[in-house]
Amino acid sequence: MFAPEGPTVRELAVQALSSVERGYDLLAPKFDVTPFRTPDAVLDAVTEAIRPLGPFQDGLDLCCGTGAGMDVLAQVCRGRITGVDFSMGMLTQARASRQSTGRPAAPATGAGPLAPAPAHTEWVRGDARALPFGAVFDLVVSFGAFGHFLPRERPRLFDQVRQVLRPGGRFVFPIAELPAPSSPAAWMLLAFDVVMRVRNAVWRPPFVMYYRTFRPDRVRGELTAAGFDVTLHALPALGSRADGSPRCGMIVATRRGGR
C-alpha cells in the first residue's frame, strides 16, 4: 500500500497523534507517494465528466493538499486557479513540486474546444470553514478531504463554498457509495472508524477522519439545504458494484440564483 519511499510506520504514528493540520504538515514531503493522494484515475474521470459543463473561468481546489485537484482545474478553467488548504507544509510541497517538475498550472497539451489558456495559479493558506474569498469562483472542486469534517460541520462548510461561488457556479466532487454492508471493504471501513473514535476519545488534539459519514443521499440533502441544485453523475470509468451500478459518482451542486 505504501511505497518504500513513503512514510515509515513511526512517522505515520506521530502524524496520527497530531492535529489534522500538523499531521499533514509532517506528512507533506512524502504525501504524493501515499495512497492518500487522489489517484490519477479519479482525477481523469472527473476531468472528463466536468468538461461538458464548462468552460469555466476561475476555479478553486478546496483542501488542495499538494494540488491533485489543481491539475483538474488547469484543464477546465481559462482564468485564475487557486488551491486553498490549512496545512502550510502541504502548500509548500505543492509549490515546490510544480516548480521542480514544471508540472503545469495549465496542461502542456490540450487541443479541443475547451482547451484553456494557461491559467494563473495561486496557493492560499486558509480554513475551509472560513474561506478567505468573496464570490469570485465559477467552479470549486474538492478531492479526498470531506472525511476531515464532522457531519455537524458540513452545513457551514457547504455555506462557505456557496459564498465563494458566483451565482450559477458549480461545486463538483467525486463521491463513492458505501460498500455493501457485509463486504470486507465495509468491515475495513468500520474498523478504521472505530480505531479513530477510540483514538479521539483518549488523545488530544483530535484527528478527524471519518469517511463512513460522507454518504451521497445525506450529502445531496445537505447541499440542497445550503442553496444548491444538485445532480449526481455516474463515473463508470471507476468501476461498478456487484449489482452493476457504478461504484463512484460525481456530485454537481449548482449555486442557485442564476448567472
Ligand X SMILES: C[S@@+](CC[C@H](N)C(=O)[O-])C[C@H]1O[C@@H](n2cnc3c(N)ncnc32)[C@H](O)[C@@H]1O
What does the binding site for ligand X look like in residue numbers (CB under 6 A)? 20, 24, 36-38, 63-65, 68-69, 85-87, 90, 127-129, 143-145, 148
Of 56 and 149, which has the nearer Cβ to ligand X?
149
Of 115 and 247, which has the nearer Cβ to ligand X?
247
Of 120 and 129, which has the nearer Cβ to ligand X?
129
Please state, in angstroms and rounded to a whole number, the distance separating the CA atoms of residues 235 and 1: 24
**In sequence order, what are the residues at sequence separation of 6 or more whose Cβ sits closer than 8 angstroms to the Cβ of residue 179?**
185, 186, 189
Of 22 and 220, which has the nearer Cβ to ligand X?
22
Minimum distance of ligand X from residue 206's CB (angstroms): 12
Minimum distance of ligand X from residue 94's CB (angstroms): 9
**3-state SS, residue 117:** coil
Minimum distance of ligand X from residue 256's CB (angstroms): 24
Of 65 and 179, which has the nearer Cβ to ligand X?
65
Minimum distance of ligand X from residue 66's CB (angstroms): 6
**In sequence order, what are the residues at sequence separation of 6 or more whose Cβ sits closer than 8 angstroms to the Cβ of residue 7?**
15, 27, 30, 34
Please state, in angstroms and rounded to a whole number, the distance separating the CA atoms of residues 58 and 82: 8
Task: Please give the residue whose beta carbon sits closest to ligand X in the complex.
Answer: 65
Q: Which helix (H) or strand (E) holds 162?
A: helix 154-164
Residue 219's nearest CA partner among 131, 143, 129, 155 is 155
Buried b (16+ CB within 10 A) or exposed e, 92-102: bbbeeebeeee
Minimum distance of ligand X from residue 181's CB (angstroms): 25
